[in-house]
Amino acid sequence: MTSEVVENEFEFYSKAEKYWKDVPATVDGMLGGYGHISSIDINSSRKFLQRFLRDGPNRTGTTRALDCGAGIGRITKRLLLPLFKTVDMVDVTQDFLTKAKSYLGEEGRRVRNYFCCGLQDFSPEPNSYDVIWIQWVIGHLTDNHLSDFLKRCRAGLRPNGIVVIKDNMAQEGVIMDDVDSSVCRDLDVVRKIIRRAGLHLLAEERQENFPDEIYHVYTFAMR
């Protein structure tokens, strides 16, 4: 539980904000020096997502997506804009959202909103999104804030919409990273928080072909 490793909540959030303000607004910066894994990541995410977008009575729509912890828009540009009519982005660092407007190019005209906000304070517009994509950012939320945010995401879904989390998973327990002021949770802890938010897991998948030295990465779809 984050309550065991986060001693001061205000400091936990403010230190993370300060860390990201000093990170270069580049793909390599967004990925902590692992920019070379971006294509592997995006290709796997596309395959995972497309299983919900295929034809069928419970097919997830393709009208609007939300990119949470969007940074400069790496996922918006390469995963979401090719699949959805419009995308909204939310990130705590204004410089990243400013950079996104040039990074996204012409297709960026289909980004409707750039929200500068921490996810602990952000509420998706109710009944608005087919997909809410949350990648490499849940570690910046305490357990309570993550659970509450996921509840708000659930309310933000359109019919047959899904919430997707893609993130690092610890081997056991909750591990604190003092450098960027984040935590890494194990699979059981994440599943418990998802259940606590009233969401049901639809699919879970481990990312393949990532470097051996980094945490295992898992993708979850839920509604």
Q: At 77, which CATH number?
A: 3.40.50.150
**Boundaries of domain holding 165:** 9-222
Q: Is 92 annotated as a binding residue?
A: yes
pLDDT in tens, 49-89: 999 998 788 899 999 999 999 999 999 999 999 999 999 99
Q: SS3 letters for 67-102?
A: EECCCCCHHHHHHHCCCCCEEEEEECCHHHHHHHHH
The CA distances from residue 87 to 1, 24, 32, 117, 219, in Å, are: 33, 23, 24, 16, 20
Identity of the residue numbered 72: I
Q: Is 29 annotated as a binding residue?
A: no
Identity of the residue numbered 177: D
Q: Is 135 annotated as a binding residue?
A: yes
For residue 2, being part of any structural domain is answered with no
Percent of the chain with pLDDT over 90: 95
Domain count within the chain: 1
pTM attached to this predicted model: 0.97
Residue 39: Cβ within 10 Å count:
10
Q: Is 69 annotated as a binding residue?
A: yes
For residue 58, being part of any structural domain is answered with yes
For residue 1, being part of any structural domain is answered with no
For residue 188, being part of any structural domain is answered with yes
- Of the listed ranges 44-48, 85-89, 210-214, the least confidently predicted one is 210-214
pLDDT in tens, 130-180: 999 999 999 999 999 999 999 999 999 999 999 999 999 999 999 999 999
How far is it, in rounded angstroms, from Cα 183 to Cα 115? 24
Task: Name 113's Cβ contacts closer than 8 Å, sequence gap at least 6.
Answer: 88, 89
For residue 4, being part of any structural domain is answered with no
Q: Is 187 annotated as a binding residue?
A: no
pLDDT given for residue 137 in this prediction = 98
Whether residue 124 is predicted with pLDDT greater than 90 in this model: the reply is yes
